[in-house]
Amino acid sequence: MKVLLIVIDGASYKVVEKIKDRLPTINKLIESGFYGKLESVFPSLTPIAIASLITGNLPEHNGITAPKIFIKGRSLSAPLSAFSSEGLKSDPIWVYLGKHGYKVTVTSNPQALPDKWKINDVTLFDPYKSKMKKCSDAKIITEGENKILGFVWLSEKRNSKYLIVYPSPSGEKEIELEEGEWSEPIQIIGKCGKEELKGAVFLHARKDNVYVTPISFFNYKWGNNIELQDKVWNNIVTKHGMILDGDYHSLYKGMITFDEYIKTIELTYSFFLNYTIFLLENTNWDFAITYLPIVDNLQHLLYGVNDDKAFEYIVKGYQMADEFIKNQLDYADIVFVCSDHGIAQIEKRIFINKFLEKINVLKINENEEIDWSKTKAYYGGGGQIRINLKNREKKGIVSSREFPKLVRYIVRNLENLSDEDTNERVFTSIVAKETPANDREGDIYITGIKEKYGISSLVKKDMNVIEKVQYYKMTSGEHGYFRKDDLYGIIIVHDKKMKIRKTILNAKIIDIAPTILKLFNIINVKMDGKPIITLVEKYGHLNNS
């Protein structure tokens, strides 16, 4: 028996209910299997929710409490990342399965790597590890010489065609593109820090320049099987490219158009579909996890835009997810389709670190980077504000005597923060610690926010604390803090041999791992979640079914 868990990032129960008639595969699975609403954890942010999905434990027990996890002895500028196995305090599902002799393949998961478990026949991948900070951003090539990651690129426009000479692993290569044309994926060479690595990009020739998509690097950090990673690069990346999300950052910066953004979504889908099928076919597994990000990508950008055009693009994302699921159904006997959270509309974004700068507890230098030597408090996401406390944070600057005064000062200002357009306060609930927080905690928590407001940790000099969303350019859909539609994803369970519809009631994301373990007859594992009764009644455990 093979069991497959397909994670569709951001698939909203509310949206699926609205459009399921336009999703042939999902609708068929709903009509012939188990289906229901899946409650996420709070805050329902992707790495936090997926950590709960794979461990069966709540954030306070699995250790993934926020995107940036603060630990005593580390500086505020160098917290643990939620996108790493280092932050996990409890074992994920593949550890229990692997130790019981089952073969596991994980195609993508925020906490899969680095592989700190090293269990035979457990294949772990996280393609997002191919992105390298400050090196993977998209680029723009103009005519003449261009310096990209330590190498020279040459560009010459001849009438309506560009001739581009670029550095590749096998020396200089050239490509000719007609204005408006997208290239096939190309391999390049670039330096990131002291490393010289090959990467993969697409080029788009435009009227005045050429857009280079975000760079994915072949750095051997995104898999625990070097031989298999080589095969993925040679058989998938070189043919289909390796874009991991729609290029929202370039859209927000004004580097690309909305149509170019949609093209990056399509290229993202192409990579994940082909990559996923390749791993399912080229690894031995009893249980596998696969993942698709594009629904979440599109909803973040477009969910708050109240027009038919925007909604149709979201539907298109769900239809690609529908096709993604369809292409995997024949690989397993039982398929779980789950999402980590839903989505909610926002009209304005609140930049918490900009607010902290405004009240003089966070400082930005001339390079628009945070000056940690002068910063007393920092928002790292997940609703958590952490004080830069001496003897707790490395290089902390706030004394224990100043701590309570500073907390009260920040809380008072947060409580009084109002939207100038409405004169209404934007936060509905703020919780402060009376004494310094422990590891993985904030000293101040933003636990409630008015509807239609999103929260961001971004900080730049030329921004306001509260900004109205610019549609088709800025995030208009958000999740994490509302405890409403954003809290609810989906669960669908399909059995090849069964055609009977049954509703799953009161399912929580922490129930998925114990349910799957129960199906494999792995019991007596302490988790916050419980096996879903309707599924256990049907299957018992696979060895006896």
Residue tagged 């158009």 (tokens): 257
- Could you tell me the residue range of the domain that residue 491 belongs to? 3-121+284-343+485-544
Q: What is the mean pLDDT of residues 338-347?
A: 98
**Is 239 inside a domain boundary?**
no
Q: Are residues 300 and 183 in the same domain?
A: no
Residue 542 has what pLDDT? 47
Burial 277-306 (b: 16+ CB within 10 A, else e): bbbbeebebbbbbbbbbbbbbbbbbbbbbe
Separate counts of helices (H) and strands (E) for the chain: 15, 30
Tell me the β-bridge partners of 387: 377
Residue 497 has what pLDDT? 84
Picking from 450, 478, 506, the residue at the C-terminal end of a domain is 478
pLDDT of 318 strictly over 60: yes
Q: What is the mean pLDDT of residues 505-528?
A: 96
**Is 56 inside a domain boundary?**
yes
Q: Are residues 12 and 117 in the same domain?
A: yes
pLDDT bracket for residue 283 (50, 70, 90): very high
pLDDT of 541 strictly over 60: no
Mean predicted lDDT score pLDDT of the chain: 96
Q: What is the mean pLDDT of residues 487-511?
A: 93
Q: Are residues 358 and 288 in the same domain?
A: no
pLDDT of 97 strictly over 70: yes
> Which value, to the nearest 10 degrees, does the dihedral of the CA atoms of residues 112, 117, 123, 126 take?
20
Percent of the chain having pLDDT more than 70? 99
Q: What is the mean pLDDT of residues 366-392?
A: 96
Pairing state between β 3-8 and 334-338: parallel
| Rg over CA atoms, the chain | 24
Measured N-to-C along each axis, helices 24-31 and 308-326 cross at an angle, to the nearest 10 degrees, of 60
Range of weakest confidence among 235-239, 329-333, 458-462: 458-462
Q: What is the mean pLDDT of residues 509-529?
A: 96
Dihedral of alpha carbons 278, 279, 281, 282, sign: positive
Q: Are residues 378 and 464 in the same domain?
A: yes
Q: What is the tens place of the pLDDT at every residue in 134-169?
A: 999 999 999 999 999 999 999 999 999 999 999 999
Q: What is the tens place of the pLDDT at every residue in 6-39?
A: 999 999 999 999 999 999 999 999 999 999 999 9
Q: Of 376, 380, 360, whose CA–CA distance to 457 is shortest?
A: 380
Q: What is the tens place of the pLDDT at every residue in 401-451?
A: 999 999 999 999 999 999 999 999 999 999 999 999 999 999 999 999 999
pLDDT of 538 strictly over 80: no
Residue 544 has what pLDDT? 35
DSSP assigned state of 132: -
Q: Is residue 422 helix, strand or coil?
A: coil
Q: Are residues 467 and 538 in the same domain?
A: no
Picking from 437, 463, 478, the residue at the C-terminal end of a domain is 478
Tokens, residue 273? 């579909």
**Is 240 inside a domain boundary?**
no
**Is 268 inside a domain boundary?**
no
Name the helix (H) or strand (E) containing 199: strand 195-201
> How many other C-beta atoms lie within 10 A of the C-beta of residue 438?
11
Cα separations in angstroms, 211 against 4, 207, 243: 37, 11, 14
Residue 496 has what pLDDT? 87
pLDDT of 389 strictly over 70: yes
CA distance 119 to 97: 10
Q: What is the CATH number of the domain that holds 327?
A: 3.40.720.10
Name the helix (H) or strand (E) containing 490: strand 488-495
pLDDT of 393 strictly over 90: yes
How many domains is the chain built from? Answer: 3
Picking from 193, 212, 231, the residue at the C-terminal end of a domain is 212
pLDDT of 543 strictly over 70: no
Of 501 and 329, the structure prediction assigns the larger pLDDT to 329
**Is 225 inside a domain boundary?**
no
Q: Are residues 21 and 143 in the same domain?
A: no
CA distance 96 to 287: 11
Q: Are residues 15 and 31 in the same domain?
A: yes
Q: Are residues 153 and 194 in the same domain?
A: yes
> How many other C-beta atoms lie within 10 A of the C-beta of residue 142?
12
Residue 536 has what pLDDT? 72
pLDDT of 545 strictly over 50: no
Q: Are residues 379 and 467 in the same domain?
A: yes
Q: Are residues 354 and 468 in the same domain?
A: yes
Residue 500 has what pLDDT? 82
Residue 540 has what pLDDT? 63
Name the helix (H) or strand (E) containing 310: helix 308-326
Q: Are residues 335 and 352 in the same domain?
A: no
**Is 250 inside a domain boundary?**
no
Q: What is the mean pLDDT of residues 58-81?
A: 97
